[in-house]
Amino acid sequence: MDGKHGILGNNPLLRLGLGICPAVAVTTTALNGLGMGVATAGALLLTSFVMGLIGGALNEKARFAVTLILSAAFASVAQMVLRGWFPALNDSLGVFVPLIAVSSLILCGGSEAAGRGFGAAIADGLVMGIGYAVAMTLLGAVRELLGRGTAFGAAVLPAAYEPLLLAALPAGGLMLLGIAMGLYNAVFGRGRNGKEGA
Amino acid sequence: MSNLTRALLFLVSCVFTQNFVFVRLMGGSALLKKAGSVATAAIVGGYTALVMAVSAALNWIVYKKALVPLGAKSLYLVAFAAVALLSAWLIALALKRVSPRVGKALGENGAALAVNCAVLGASLIGMGGGIVRAALTGLFGGLGYLLALVLLAGVQERLEFSRVPESMKGLPISLVSAGLIALAFMGFIGL
Amino acid sequence: MKLNLNPAPHVHSRQDTRWLMGNVLIALLPCCVAGVVYFGVPALMLMAVSMASAVLFEALWQKLCGRKLLIADGSAAVTGLILALNLPPRAPWWLAVMGSAFAVVIVKGLFGGLGDNFINPAMAARALLLASWPKFMTAWTAPSGLDAVTSATPLMTPAAWTPLELFLGRIPGCIGETCKLAILAGLAWLLITRTIKWHIPVAMMASLCLFSWIFGKDPVAAALSGGALFGAAFMATDYVTCPVHPAAQMIYAAGAGLVAAVIRSYAGYPEGVTYGILLMNAAAPLLDKCFRRRVYGHGREAAK
């Protein structure tokens, strides 16, 4: 990996399509997007931290397996934190909290962290995590605004606005993420998003 | 209602009303994989369906017969992930033995690609009932995943001849296509 | 005017788009007339707004993409008109604008324009509107007066109308779908001018009737209510989104009829024709693939 991940350039969600399952499923509101983004970023950071420490000693197949186990462990931690301190958010994210365990963002990011320097692994994890969380929050905000006429729960559009309900539904989420990626590519240019996630 | 009728209704529900890719949104991986051809998509989808069924059943056993009696419920995610990876790996090995063509379609790290939202999601959702229901959730959900993968591969093959704007090529237009198919699947709401 | 269309497998090279769209517009004329007669001036306004906005969005999109302006080919106008004919007569004007924008820009434009979309734009737009603003999309009015009286469509209360009433179309429903006489006239025009062939409409209606009968409904009423005939004549037959080979077309149409019957009988939405066509649109590339080897190089000649 070349360490070119960024918050704006080469955004892990909008350019690489990492972690798209929750990006479509739970981003019906800005708060959900933010919560999911931060939870995933936290698990990614911890996974990168450990993989940066021990990853160098593992071969490629073992790296994937260890990353997966670490990711599952930190997803469990994320679930406990959400359940204990943010029960309402935990309920609205639902089954997608445990599914952080198989987020392709963490599986790719963690595997890449192995074998790089410890500092580089942390920095990369941090940048990828923040980039992902920012993209998730933005997508959630757009879908909430279109689908409900609110921003973080506060009504911001005039009462006459008839919400575009589809924006908050699965079909609308898939289309809006696709369009967001297209816009992102148009604005930031693209080097073909030829990267495969898991 | 006989068991057969119930199973059939459950099949329709898993494949259409609650499709893993278009309704539950646990199949993002189906979009990412550049399946290449409809045939490859069918092989990868069928393999994923098998992994979903086997790991859902095994995880049910692990959870109900080991983790709960041992009081180790909080380890469930780690256990599920390990079981899913193991079954994906074993099934890939077995399939490669049976047919070299399948092995080629799955590629070198087919097992790694199979541990995704759909597989773990099937295990989590299947936890609500008995073991048969868990296995069927995996299998039927997997058939829905297979259907989605094949439909998307057909559309993608068609898009090769299209004048899709440069910035929309690849994943973005796949997502929009999936969204439009999801719109069509909305007709099954309430079935 | 000769269009420079890319060689997508679904676009007929020898017929030019303008001739084709002109024929479809002529065929839609009886439905428009019936819609205005039954539902009055608001229906006419909706058609105008929908067509104008579809053409406008098409022009804007082509400008944005730096392409040649091709709105004179009439395809955007046809999309807008078909969408309007699929709206309830008292739908607010902005519904038509939103639907047209979605149809022209997202369903068609993002995929490259005419001939590149894999799903019928007007149908997808109708599904979008139904999912997003259900209260406006299901506000039916009786055709008699100009005032909006909410009433049930024949799909909800099938026994309230005789087959003749259903056939002539003095019933609540979408603007263009109620008068079966007008639709048949349009269909006849399309068949006589060889714009379309008989396979898709016939297979779709036959399948819908058969499965409605199996599910315990009156097949005649099933054929004459809702948007079945309109969909079979004008939307399932869209060149761009239907398969090429006649056998594949029959399977495609039969599938659309089956899905429509299933949704009408068992699912939450009262009308399933939209979803039947959309789903089979999505399956059309696969169906074509099953038959492609045999028809390669023949399909286009046969369709002429």
CATH code, domain carrying C219: 1.10.3430
Asked whether the predicted pLDDT for residue C7 surpasses 80, the reply is: no
Q: Please state which of the ranges B26-35, B128-137, C33-42, C77-86 shows the lowest mean pLDDT.
A: B26-35
Tell me the pLDDT band of B115, cut-offs 50, 70 and 90: confident
Q: Cβ contact (<8 Å) for B155 and C282?
A: yes
Q: What span, in angstroms and rounded, lies between the C-alpha atoms of B3 and B21?
A: 27
The pair of three-digit structure tokens given for residue C155, joined into one six-digit string: 């799909």
Tell me the pLDDT band of C10, cut-offs 50, 70 and 90: very low
Q: Does C261 touch chain B (CB under 8 A)?
A: no
Q: What span, in angstroms and rounded, lies between the C-alpha atoms of C164 and C98?
A: 35
C236 close to C253: Cβ distance less than 8 angstroms: yes
In a domain, C135, yes or no: yes
Coil, helix or strand for B75?
A: helix
Q: Does B177 touch chain C (CB under 8 A)?
A: yes
C284 close to C242: Cβ distance less than 8 angstroms: yes
CB neighbour list of residue A132: distance below 8 Å, 6 or more residues apart: A11, A12, A13, A18, A19, A37, A40, A41, A44, A105
* Mean pLDDT taken over chain C: 85
Position C14 scores a pLDDT of: 45
Q: Cβ contact (<8 Å) for C132 and A163?
A: yes
Q: What is the mean pLDDT of residues C212-223?
A: 89
A190: left (phi over 0), alpha (psi -120 to 50) or beta: beta
Q: Does B173 touch chain C (CB under 8 A)?
A: yes
Q: What is the mean pLDDT of residues B146-159?
A: 91
Buried-state track A19-28, b at ≥16 Cβ within 10 A, e below 16: bbbbbbbbbb
Position C301 scores a pLDDT of: 38
Q: Cβ contact (<8 Å) for B163 and C112?
A: yes
| Residues of chain A that touch chain C, judged by Cβ-Cβ distance less than 8 Å | 162-167, 169, 171, 175, 179, 182
Position C104 scores a pLDDT of: 95
Position A3 scores a pLDDT of: 45
In a domain, C300, yes or no: no
Share of chain A above pLDDT 90, in %: 54
Sort out which chain A residues have CB atoms less than 8 A from C131's CB and list them: 165-166, 169, 171
Q: Give CA torsion, residues A43, A45, A51, A52, to 10 deg.
A: -170
Q: Cβ contact (<8 Å) for B155 and C279?
A: no
Position C11 scores a pLDDT of: 46
Residue span of the structural domain in which C270 resides: 17-293
In a domain, B42, yes or no: yes
Q: Cβ contact (<8 Å) for C268 and B191?
A: yes
Position A2 scores a pLDDT of: 43
Residue positions counted in chain B? 191
In a domain, B53, yes or no: yes
Residue span of the structural domain in which B125 resides: 11-188
Nearest to A151 by CA among A135, A140, A167: A140
In a domain, C137, yes or no: yes
Sort out which chain C residues have CB atoms less than 8 A from B21's CB and list them: none
In a domain, B172, yes or no: yes
A positions 78-137 inside 8 Å of B (CB)? 79-80, 95, 98-99, 101-102, 104, 107
Position C33 scores a pLDDT of: 94
What are the tens digits of pLDDT across the range C257-287? 999 999 998 888 878 899 999 999 999 999 9
Position C69 scores a pLDDT of: 83
Q: Does C278 touch chain B (CB under 8 A)?
A: yes
Q: Please state which of the ranges A156-160, A188-192, C142-146 shows the lowest mean pLDDT.
A: C142-146
C positions 34-93 inside 8 Å of B (CB)? 65
Q: Token pair 């809006």 is at which residue?
A: A176
Burial of residue C296 (number of CB atoms within 10 Å: 0-12, 13-18, 19+) = exposed
Cut 0.80: pTM above it: yes
Please count the structural domains in chain B.
1
Asked whether the predicted pLDDT for residue C126 surpasses 90, the reply is: yes
Residue B131 neighbours by CB distance under 10 Å: 15
Q: What span, in angstroms and rounded, lies between the C-alpha atoms of A43 and A47?
A: 6
In a domain, B137, yes or no: yes
Alpha helices, H only, chain B: 3-12, 28-32, 38-61, 68-70, 76-98, 100-106, 110-114, 117-125, 131-159, 171-185
Q: Please state which of the ranges A60-64, A67-71, C101-105, C253-257 shows the lowest mean pLDDT.
A: A60-64
Position C115 scores a pLDDT of: 86
Please count the structural domains in chain C.
1
Nearest by CB to residue C289, choosing from B154, B187, B188, is B154
Position C184 scores a pLDDT of: 94
Position B190 scores a pLDDT of: 81
Residue ranges covered by each domain of chain A: 20-186
Coil, helix or strand for A163?
A: coil
| CA angle at B30 for the pair B26 and B35, rounded to the nearest 5° | 170
Q: What is the mean pLDDT of residues B133-154?
A: 93
Position C73 scores a pLDDT of: 84
In a domain, C301, yes or no: no
Nearest by CB to residue C128, choosing from A162, A166, A179, is A166
Sort out which chain A residues have CB atoms less than 8 A from B80's CB and list them: 72, 101
**Closest-CA residue of chain C to A176:** C106
Q: What span, in angstroms and rounded, lies between the C-alpha atoms of C193 and C197?
A: 10
Sort out which chain C residues have CB atoms less than 8 A from B162's CB and list them: 6, 8, 111-112, 116
The continuous run of DSSP H or E covering A154 comes out as strand A154-155
Asked whether the predicted pLDDT for residue C244 surpasses 70, the reply is: yes
Residue at C273: amino acid letter: V
Nearest by CB to residue C275, choosing from B163, B176, B187, is B187
Q: What span, in angstroms and rounded, lies between the C-alpha atoms of A119 and C190?
A: 70
Q: What span, in angstroms and rounded, lies between the C-alpha atoms of A99 and B127?
A: 14
Buried-state track C206-237, b at ≥16 Cβ within 10 A, e below 16: bbbbbbbeeeebebebbbbbbbbbbbbbbbbb
Nearest to B27 by CA among B19, B38, B35, B15: B19
